[in-house]
Structure 1
Amino acid sequence: MSLKKSINEFGDYLGDKESLLEKNYPRIAEIIQLHWGYKEIYQYINKLLVVDKDRNRQGFPAQVLQEIYKLQEIHEKLFPDLNVLPNG
């Protein structure tokens, strides 16, 4: 099941548009879906958004970044007690 269909708030955010995250990065969308409702999602999203100097990555298009940030925002609202990153 897609993120848009399984997360109502994300579907509302997208409206009639398709998710570019799901279309162009299906593996990442799948991992986000697997981590949904668990605190590990924050580590995963942080890993996606932080660019390591040693890694040769191009980065995400702006619209995909917006979707990732929106998913993080929705998760924080739905699961506020999980929004704690471990130290270290």
Structure 2
Amino acid sequence: MPNNKSAFAQVSDAFPMFGANIKRLWGTKDFTTYIKALLQDARDGSKTGFPEGVLSALIRLSDLHDRKFPELQPCIDNNENFKVVNEAFPRIGSKISACWGTAEFNPYISSLLHDSRGGNRKGFPFETLMALHALSEQHNKEYAQLYPLIDVWTQSDT
């Protein structure tokens, strides 16, 4: 359970279900993913924003968890595919490392793999391209909870 009881109580009092999930996930790898998803949803407008006090409490809890459990933070520094990309393109490697384990990862990888500049990109060397695809597949497997399943058979054509 979080040590910062006032931040936890602030979230739990306002949103008991979120408080129960925070308590259940505290000290696990899934905590960071859960909090990041809550914060992302609130910031990009896909869910009704949290009251300012709750939002700051979630951020405090996230920071506290990161400091208390640094070993649980997503890290791909020792991944061979990441090393291939990072050695050839350090700026891209830095961004991949920062996005790893978040919902921001797939849009970033997609922006790298799909030219949106009208054909002006040179393209990646084959080894780098394969490493980017492998990282994308690995991320989708490890962080599947970040991406809702879409049942194409139940979607209407309207």
Structure 2 segments unaligned to the other structure (5+ residues): 1-74, 149-158
Say which of 22, 35, 39 aligns to 2:103.
39
Say which of 62, 68, 86 aligns to 1:22.
86
Matches of 1:70 and 1:80 in 2, distance apart? 15
Bigger Rg over Cα:
2
Matched, 1:65 2:143: no
Structure 1 residues 53 and 26 mapped into 2: Cα distance closer, same or farther (>3 Å)?
Answer: closer
Moved over 6 A (4+): none
Q: SS of the counterpart of 1:37?
A: coil
For 2:108, the aligned partner's letter is Y
- 1:3 and 1:22 in contact (8 A); partners too: no
How far the C-alpha of 1:20 sits from its partner, in A, is: 2.9
TM-score (norm 1): 0.72
**Which one has more relative contact order, counting CA pairs under 8 Å at least 6 apart?**
1
Number of paired residues? 74
Identical positions, percent:
30
- 2:77 and 2:97 in contact (8 A); partners too: no
Q: What's the Cα RMSD here?
A: 2.2
How far the C-alpha of 1:82 sits from its partner, in A, is: 1.1
Structure 1 segments unaligned to the other structure (5+ residues): none
How far the C-alpha of 1:22 sits from its partner, in A, is: 1.1
TM-score (norm 2): 0.42
Matches of 1:80 and 1:32 in 2, distance apart? 17
Matches of 2:108 and 2:133 in 1, distance apart? 12
- After superposition, give the CA deviation of every residue in 1:41-63 in whole Å (9 maximum; x if it has no partner): 00000000001252521010111
For 1:82, the aligned partner's letter is L
